[in-house]
Amino acid sequence: MVEKEVEKNIEALLEERREFEAPEEFAANANANEASIYDDAAADPEAFWASQAERLDWFEPWDTVLEQDPPFHKWFTGGKLNASHNCLDRHLDSNGDRVAYHWVGEPGETKDVTYKDLHEEVCRLANSLKDLGIAKGDRVAIYMPMIPELPAAMLACARIGAPHSVVFGGFSAESLRDRINDAAAKVLITADGSYRKGNVVPLKANADEALQDTPSVEKVVVVARTGEDVSMTEGRDLVYSEVVEAASPDCPAEPMDAEDMLYILYTSGTTGKPKGIVHTTGGYLTGVSSTHNLIFDIKPDTDVYWCAADIGWVTGHSYIVYGPLANGCTSVLYEGAPDHPDKDRWWSIVEQYGVTILYTAPTAIRSCMKWGTDFPAKHDLSSLRLLGSVGEPINPEAWIWYQEFIGAGKAPVVDTWWQTETGQICISPLPGITTLKPGSATKAFPGVFADVVDEAGEAVGRGGGGYLVLRKPVPAMFRTIFGDEKRYVETYFEKFGNDTYFPGDGAKLDDDGYFWLLGRVDDVMNIAGHRISTYEVESALVDHKSVAEAAVVGRVDPKEGETIVAFVTPKEDKEGDDALMEELREHVAKVIGKLARPHSIVFTEDLPKTRSGKIMRRLLRDVATGQELGDVSTLQNAPILEEIKAKAESQQGDDE
């Protein structure tokens, strides 16, 4: 009886939401507006991906679209191309004066960089790298702020066939050191510092600390961003502007094999040192440019596109640099924080440049919800015609808020599921075709074979829940973990066999075959034999009018089994008191069922988050179970954890 009630109310929470059909005018002009694209791609996926690859410039055509030796796969073998050529040179004749990036510095300066400007900078820097001894195949580490020199550095590497390894500017010296050493990078490109919330982040000082223990690095190129004094090591460190000015602007793009490495990007696994995710050239560029074109409905002549992620994450690699530039579109590149100098910074940028497409993360959307609607309301956001979300499940309330208060109720919201490993979006609506359901990433992109399976790897079918899998590789999918093929096979293919990629996410299929991502499988709780995802409880909590943000974990007790602990940030004007605690427990009981009612609720000003904004549930689980805290080095706000811990402990005392 109880179980039935839970089941029904989970369904009610997730499904009793409005559905949104593609707006007629949008559909009429959409890049993807024939539903047959799905069936055609399913019938012959290789023909579909080949047609997408043909949108690129190839120096030599490929022989075979896909060669598989599961779990290994190669795309467009025999083909030759260059990513930098595809992102720059081929646009020059017709669109050289088009703006590639409207750059906005956090302190307020702006700069428009055209395709011609970027091409020249890239060619000069590529020649400088050659002068510094970088040859095809050598790795270059990049540790930079969100300034135009960052995409330029990536493309300069791509131009000469040197794989780059971008390390997010928020990472510590130690993280930088480990990544440089794992890739054995020969050159580091960095900056004196960067601006964040009005402060200077000392990138060069961090780099110097890292460089004490990185034997592979021979030269360091330093961009003067802040102009502050930094120490320069004679014979090793060079000034970026001097190096670039001295170099020739003439640098032919190296013809690369489709399967040559384009870059390494490190991502944390559940255990052990970060994994160096390896992406190659032809498939990657095909995957990111095609998804960018069809999902974001890019009209290069008129759109101003803004992906508000950091280039240091895969979202920035694929959807700030390679996808948008391959499609010849104009982007915004913003250096700083969304609330500096005030909480309307993003909306003033949207207004200033007439941004038409905005792509961001649920955590950012929830921050904006917390700050209130006055900030977006101060600005004319009517240019926005399409909104995107990525990074974690977006709860229906945040989805609706985004559509309503940022998209004026008219802009479709595309919730895009993918990973560092997949390189490209895999599950997402096509905004001119797909009927949207708030909270669902909807359907697999054409040519992508996503499914939901049970523990034995059997398809659960519509209405079922289990593990998300991909039954065929996508072109932009990673090829291996740098230097650790064994870990590649074990992490992703041990569970269901070499033909089935396991991304580590749980998902449900609803009766229409829509995907509902439920978070990492290690975040699924088992409450009295019933699977309830932390996300479902979080969604119910955030659904309450007094809640800004919530994270939920399972506390395993040998006697009681698993119970639910919620960490809740109330909205700014709300008090996290006993009355609210009781109200929230009742609220969750009402929307999901008594079984899903949190056993305890800890109120906190903030939740522990990684620098990319993901809530670290693992650490909250440690707090909830009273265990020693795990690794906190990737947190952006580590001190909050001690506060939460102290509160949780005093509350637990109250319980007993």
Minimum distance of ligand 7RM from residue 438's CB (angstroms): 12
By CB under 6 A, residue 417 contacts ligand 7RM:
yes
Contacts 24+ apart (CB under 8 A), 36-42: 37/430, 37/433, 37/446, 38/443, 38/446, 40/446, 41/446, 41/447, 42/446, 42/447, 42/449
Q: Which residues contact 87 (CB under 8 A, 6 or more apart)?
A: 155, 158, 321, 322, 325, 326
Q: Where are the alpha helices (DSSP H) in 461-504?
A: 485-493
Task: Give phi and psi for 200, each to the nearest 5.
Answer: -100, 125
| Binder of ligand 7RM out of 214, 416, 500, 539 (CB under 6 A) | 416
Angle at CA 162, nearest 5°, toward 67 and 275? 65
Within positions 542 to 601, which residues make up the interface with ligand 7RM, using CB under 6 A? none
Nearer to ligand 7RM, 240 or 266 (CB): 266
Residue 439 contacts ligand 7RM per CB under 6 A: no
Q: Which of 328, 432, 465, 503 binds ligand 7RM (CB under 6 A)?
A: 503
Q: Going residue by residue from 210 to 239, which x/- string records binding to ligand 7RM, judged by CB under 6 A?
A: ------------------------------
Separation of alpha carbons 450 and 455, rounded Å? 16
| 507 touching ligand 7RM, by CB under 6 A | no
Q: Which is nearer to ligand 7RM, 517 or 547 (CB)?
A: 517
Residue 152 near residue 106, CB atoms below 8 Å: no
- Residue 452 lies near ligand 7RM (rule: CB under 6 A): no
Please identify which residue in 119, 520, 621, 645 interacts with ligand 7RM, judged by CB under 6 A: 520
Q: How many other CB atoms sit within 10 Å of the CB of residue 7?
A: 13
Q: How many residues bind ligand 7RM (CB under 6 A)?
A: 20
DSSP symbols for 419-440:
-TTT-S--B---TTTPPB-TT-
Residues 6+ away with beta carbon under 8 Å from 128? 156, 221, 243, 244, 246, 247
Per CB under 6 A, contacts with ligand 7RM among 300-319 are 314-315
In terms of DSSP bridges, do strands 237-239 and 219-223 run parallel, antiparallel, or are they unpaired? parallel
- Comparing CB distances to ligand 7RM, the nearer of 128 and 424 is 424
The stretch among 118-126, 253-261, 416-424, 596-604 that binds ligand 7RM (CB under 6 A) is 416-424
Strand 164-166 and strand 140-143: pairing?
parallel
Query: What DSSP letter does each residue of 355-413 carry, written as one string?
Result: --EEEE-HHHHHHHHHH-THHHHTS--TT--EEEEESSPPPHHHHHHIIIIISTTTS-E
Among 419, 636, 651, 652, binds ligand 7RM (CB under 6 A): 419
- Identify whether the C-beta of residue 177 lies closer than 8 Å to the C-beta of residue 199: no
* Shortest Å, Cβ 309 to ligand 7RM: 8
**Closer residue to ligand 7RM, CB minimum distance, 267 or 367:** 267
Tokens of 395: 């709860």
DSSP H helical segments within 484-555, as ranges? 485-493, 534-542
Q: Is 420 in the site for ligand 7RM (CB under 6 A)?
A: yes
Q: Which of 565, 551, 575, 578 is nearest to 637 (CA)?
A: 551
Report the residue number, 13 or 314, with the smaller CB distance to ligand 7RM: 314
Q: Scanning residues 102 to 121, which ones bind ligand 7RM (CB under 6 A)?
A: none
Report the residue number, 124 or 366, with the smaller CB distance to ligand 7RM: 366
Which residue, 209 or 510, is less far from ligand 7RM as judged by CB?
A: 510
Report the nearest approach of ligand 7RM to the CB of residue 419 (Å): 4
* Interactions with ligand 7RM, residue window 259-278 (CB under 6 A): 267
Find the part of the chain contacting ligand 7RM (CB under 6 A) among 114-122, 380-388, 515-523, 536-544. 515-523
Which of 254, 260, 505, 549 is close enough to bind ligand 7RM by CB under 6 A?
505
Coil/strand/helix, residue 112: strand
For 509, how many CA atoms within 13 A lie in the half-sphere containing its CB? 20
* Residue with Cβ nearer ligand 7RM (243 or 430): 430
Looking at beta carbons only, is 204 or 614 nearer to ligand 7RM? 614
| Contact call for residue 517 and ligand 7RM (CB under 6 A) | yes
Torsion region of 140: left, alpha or beta (phi above 0 gives left; psi -120 to 50 gives alpha) = beta
To ligand 7RM, the closest distance from the beta carbon of 54 in angstroms equals 26
- Rg of the chain over CA atoms, in angstroms? 24
Both tokens assigned to 549: 């943000």
- By beta-carbon proximity to ligand 7RM, the closer residue of 335 and 392 is 392
**CB of 88 or CB of 364, closer to ligand 7RM:** 364
d(CA 46, CA 557): 50
Per CB under 6 A, which region of 107-115, 498-506, 536-544, 624-632 contacts ligand 7RM?
Answer: 498-506
Nearer to ligand 7RM, 76 or 418 (CB): 418
Residue 453's Cβ-side half-sphere holds a number of Cα atoms within 13 Å equal to 18
Nearer to ligand 7RM, 206 or 416 (CB): 416
400 DSSP β-pair partners? none
Binding segment for ligand 7RM among 64-72, 222-230, 514-522, 569-577 (CB under 6 A)? 514-522
Shortest Cβ 314–ligand 7RM spacing (Å) = 5
Name residues contacting ligand 7RM, limited to 376-415 (CB under 6 A).
Answer: 390-393, 415
CB of 535 to ligand 7RM, least distance (A): 8
d(CA 75, CA 376): 44
Q: Which amino acid, one-letter code, is at 140?
A: V
Measured from the CB atom, is 86 or 360 closer to ligand 7RM? 360
Closest approach of Cβ 274 to ligand 7RM, in Å?
11
Span interacting with ligand 7RM, options 90-98, 456-464, 499-507, 586-594, rule CB under 6 A:
499-507
- Inter-residue contact 367 to 402 (CB < 8 Å): no
Residue 389: CB minimum distance to ligand 7RM, A: 6
| Residue number, 138 or 505, with CB nearest to ligand 7RM | 505
Number of neighbours of residue 235 by Cβ within 10 angstroms:
8
Binding window for ligand 7RM (CB under 6 A); candidates: 286-294, 377-385, 512-520, 584-592: 512-520
Q: Work out the widest C-alpha separation in the chain, in whole angstroms.
A: 77
User: Which residues are at the interface with ligand 7RM (CB under 6 A)?
Assistant: 267, 314-315, 390-393, 415-420, 441, 503-505, 517, 519-520
